Each structure stands twice: as C-alpha cells, then as structure tokens.
Homo-oligomer: A and B are copies of this chain.
C-alpha cells in the first residue's frame, strides 16, 4: 500500500542537501536521508530514482521556464533577443528566497565530479531544448545552437554570481548585466 506523506518530497530534498553538505554525497545513503526526517528508504524511492536525482528535481519546470521565455519573445526578435528573454524568464525560477538553498546545492555539486557531470548534462539538454524551440521559430543553424548555448553560458555566469557571497542583487538583475556584457564581447568596441 502506497501512503501519501504530506510534504515528503520537500522534506527529503532539504534533508538530503543538508546531509550531503555535512557528510559528503558519497558518504550519505538514501536510507540516511529518509531516516533523518522519520521516513523509510522505501518512501525515498517513491519520490526519487536514486540519491543523485534528489538534487535534480524540478528540472522539467526549469526547462519550461526557458521554453516559455522563447515563446514569449516578440515575433520579429533576433535569435539573441529571444534567448535574452528566455534567460530572464528562467531567472524568475530562482527568487531570492531560494538563494541559500541554491548555494548549498552548488557546493555539494562542485565537490563531486559525478554530480558536476550530471549538472552539465542537464544544462546541455536545456540548450538542446532551447535550440529546438528557436528552430521552430524559424532560426536557422548554426545560429539556433549558438544562441541556445550562449544563453546557457549567460545563465550559468549569472547564476554563479547570484550565489556568490556577498551578492544581493536578484538573479534577473545580474542576468541583465551579463547579457549586456555578452553583447559587448563581440561588439566593435570590446
């Protein structure tokens, strides 16, 4: 019999992050995580495929935030303008109250090459999805891929700045600056 545990997903996520940060990812089992919040290992696996995936939950909604951004860009926008809208749309996925969670998660990921690889694959998958959405809008290749990957670069740079103490600006504000820097990079007066 499968019982629904109210808030179990969120409790497991918070507990996992705390234990991975304190003891190390390798040293923590799914059972440890479940027990620390009074749940069973079996409940853990009802929500997450393994102890790694608990760190990558919410990926579909994050991807959708990018795609919604692409869809929201005006019809005549250039590929770069479209990705700029997508980056800002995705930024709204990380309001300031998620900053400390995001910071802790990043510390756990940076400490483990296997998790870094998983994170990079996630971002590559996002870039592919954005490139596909750009092509569907009529952007040709290689512009679609260049714009999509550049979009991920801008998002990544902004995100790492957002979680770097003592940064206090919102992710969207930082992303706007980074997009400006990216524009200046290839411009004539760089």
Question: Which residues of B are found within 8 Å of A168, using beta-carbon distances?
Answer: none
Question: Which residues of B are found within 8 Å of A143, using beta-carbon distances?
Answer: 181, 185
Q: In angstroms, how far is the closest chain B Cβ from the Cβ of A135? A: 14
Q: Which of A5-13, A24-32, A66-74, A116-124 contacts B (4 or more CB under 8 A)?
A: A116-124
Select which of B142, B149, B181 is within 8 A of A181 by beta carbon: B142
Q: Which of A14-22, A96-104, A154-162 contacts B (4 or more CB under 8 A)?
A: A154-162
Q: In angstroms, how far is the closest chain B Cβ from the Cβ of A119? A: 9
Q: Is B146 a contact of A182 with CB atoms below 8 Å?
A: yes
The answer to the question of A150 belonging to the interface, with a C-beta cut-off of 8 Å to chain B, is yes
Question: Which residues of B are found within 8 Å of A124, using beta-carbon distances?
Answer: 116, 120
The answer to the question of A95 belonging to the interface, with a C-beta cut-off of 8 Å to chain B, is no
Q: In angstroms, how far is the closest chain B Cβ from the Cβ of A153? A: 4
Q: Cα distance A31–B118 when bound, in Å?
A: 28
Q: Cα distance A150–B190 when bound, in Å?
A: 15
Chain B residue nearest to A145 (CB atoms) is B157
Given contacts A120-B124, A146-B154, A154-B146, contact A186 B182 (CB under 8 A): yes
30 inter-chain pairs at a CB distance below 8 angstroms, sorted by A residue, are A78-B185, A78-B190, A79-B185, A80-B185, A113-B121, A116-B124, A117-B118, A117-B120, A117-B121, A120-B120, A120-B124, A142-B161, A142-B181, A143-B181, A146-B153, A146-B154, A146-B157, A146-B182, A147-B185, A149-B153, A149-B156, A149-B157, A150-B150, A150-B182, A150-B186, A153-B153, A182-B186, A183-B186, A186-B186, A186-B187
